[in-house]
Amino acid sequence: MKKFLMSTPLLAIMCCLIWSVIFVPTKVGLTYFEYPFQYAGYTHLIAGLMLLPWGGFGREYILHVREHFGLVLKVAFFSTTLLYGAYYLGQTFVAPSLAALIVSAQPFFVFVMAHFMMKNERMTMMKVGSVILAVIGVVIVSYPSVRDIEVAGLSAVIGIVMVLVNCVSASYANITVSKVDFSRVKSRVLTSSQLTLGGLMLFVISIAVDGGVKPLPLDNVEFLIATGAIIAFTVIAIMTWYSLLARPEVKVSELNMWKFIMPIFGTFISWAMIESDKPNVYSVTGVVVLTISLILFYRTALVGFFTRVFKGNGKKAVEQ
| Model confidence at 101: pLDDT above 90 | no
| Model confidence at 285: pLDDT above 50 | yes
Banded model confidence at residue 319, pLDDT cuts 50, 70, 90: very low
- Alpha-carbon 65 to chain mean position: 24
Banded model confidence at residue 299, pLDDT cuts 50, 70, 90: confident
Banded model confidence at residue 314, pLDDT cuts 50, 70, 90: very low
pLDDT at position 72:
95
Q: Where are the domains positioned within the chain? A: 2-314
**Mean per-residue pLDDT over the chain, rounded:** 79
| Model confidence at 191: pLDDT above 50 | yes
pLDDT at position 304:
66
pLDDT tens digits along 16-46: 888 778 877 888 898 899 888 899 899 999 9
Cβ contact 52:196 at 8 Å: yes
Report for 149-153, 160-164, 234-238: range of highest mean pLDDT = 234-238
pLDDT at position 123:
65
Read off the pLDDT of each residue in 126-139 and give the average, rounded to a whole number.
75
CA–CA separation, 306 vs 19, rounded Å?
23
Q: CA geometry: angle at 86 spanning 80 and 92, to 5°?
A: 125
| Model confidence at 13: pLDDT above 70 | yes
Cβ atoms within 10 Å, residue 148: 11
